[in-house]
């Protein structure tokens, strides 16, 4: 068990289409479609709670049915919700096309753009047991929510919390520029990025911006780099892929929980790989069965 983790960032509804054939633009493609909770920050919070880690999610949603449902399902999973519901604004949504181990996302940021510094302050004030803050990079990549993201990083440092940031998505990273993003996160404890995000950020200062940098390599495992220390690498925990949506968020939750409990880099990444492997066995981005209902680390069926 660790102290409380405060997760700041996005909450959305995922409209997930798991393709049963190659996408045929301009025509029909068979798929299994479901509507479920999503959002990088919300997913990470859900996977932390699944591990019995005390967690608070700071997010913005619409004052609509989707916002209420998303908050209720997180609370039912053990997440303490510090979610402001904004009248007249829709909860964010993402169309996810998943197939062949990859996923493409089409997003409507909705109320996520309305996250404000005062939301972060209120959540931190209500979490005196917090030891760590995890920030979804989407909060920094959207100009409207960026002040809240930057404020969260400052407020966490002032309170003596450790801090991690997930780089979020390659295309918006490319649009804001690697230099700007790395400057925003400079000095944090953990910077997480997947292979594509790392390729955007790669260059002067990438592995020096944070105290440690973790690159998620999907089926090729993950690496942990600290300035002036050898890079540590672990293999993936390979399992049949149903849907990779949220696997990186699960990895982050597993790694953070283990690291906060005192695990070394290799052990922390292995814990992340285990949760990421569980996630790819499930449709959607959130955990299903609680850990005590797993069969040898696999979802019970």
What does the pLDDT read at residue 296? 43
**52 found inside a domain:** yes
The answer as to whether 231 is a domain residue is: yes
What is the total count of domains within the chain? Answer: 1
**CA count, 13 A, side-chain hemisphere, 20:** 6
Instruction: Give the residue numbers spanning the domain of 206.
Output: 9-20+30-289
- The residues near 272 (Cβ < 8 Å, ≥ 6 apart) are 214, 216, 222, 250, 251, 252, 253, 254, 255, 258
User: Which residues, including other chains, have CB under 8 Å from residue 125's CB and lie 6 or more apart?
Assistant: none
**Is residue 257 in a domain?**
yes
Residue by residue, DSSP assigns 99-125 as ETTEEEEEEE-GGGGG--HHHHHHHHH
Confidence of residue 292 (pLDDT cuts 50, 70, 90): very low
In terms of Cα–Cα distance, which of 36, 88, 33 is closest to 60? 88
Express each pLDDT in 19-41 by its tens digit. 888 888 889 989 989 898 999 99
pLDDT of residue 16: 86
Tell me which of 299 and 240 has the higher pLDDT: 240
56-82: pLDDT as tens digits = 999 999 999 999 999 999 999 999 999
CA-to-CA dists, residue 273 to 220, 268, 284, angstroms: 10, 9, 17
Please indicate, yes or no, if residue 112 is contained in any of the structural domains.
yes
Tell me if 301 is assigned to some domain: no
In a domain, 197, yes or no: yes
Look at residue 49 and tell me if it is in a domain: yes
What was the pLDDT predicted at 23?
84
Greater model confidence, 219 or 7: 7
CATH of the domain at 99: 3.40.1190.20
- Within a domain: residue 297? no
């Amino acid at each position: 068990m660790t102290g409380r983790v405060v997760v700041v960032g996005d909450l959305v509804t995922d409209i997930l289409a798991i393709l049963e054939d190659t996408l045929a633009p301009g025509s029909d493609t068979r798929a299994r479609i479901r509507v479920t909770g999503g959002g990088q920050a919300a997913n990470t919070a859900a996977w932390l709670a699944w591990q019995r880690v005390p967690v608070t999610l700071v997010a913005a949603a619409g004052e609509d049915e989707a916002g209420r449902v998303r908050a209720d399902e997180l609370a039912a999973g053990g997440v303490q919700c510090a979610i402001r519901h904004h009248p007249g604004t829709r909860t964010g949504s993402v169309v996810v096309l998943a197939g062949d181990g990859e996923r493409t996302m089409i997003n409507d940021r909705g109320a996520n753009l309305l996250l404000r510094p005062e939301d972060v302050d209120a959540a931190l004030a209500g979490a005196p047991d917090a030891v760590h803050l995890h920030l979804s990079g989407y909060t920094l990549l959207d100009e409207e929510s960026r002040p809240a993201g930057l404020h969260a990083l400052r407020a966490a440092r002032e309170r003596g919390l450790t801090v991690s940031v997930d780089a979020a998505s390659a295309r918006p990273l490319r649009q804001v520029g690697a230099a700007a993003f790395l400057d925003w996160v400079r000095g944090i404890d953990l910077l997480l990025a997947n292979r594509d995000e790392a390729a955007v950020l790669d260059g002067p200062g990438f592995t020096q911006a944070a105290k440690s940098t973790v690159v998620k390599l999907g089926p090729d495992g993950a690496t942990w780099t600290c300035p002036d220390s050898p890079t540590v690498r672990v293999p993936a925990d390979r399992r049949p892929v149903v849907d990779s949506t949220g696997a990186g968020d699960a990895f982050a939750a597993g790694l953070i929980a283990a690291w906060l409990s005192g695990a070394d880099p290799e052990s922390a990444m292995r814990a992340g790989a285990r949760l990421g492997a569980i996630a790819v066995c499930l449709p959607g981005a959130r955990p299903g069965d609680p850990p005590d209902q797993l069969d040898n680390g696999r979802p019970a069926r």
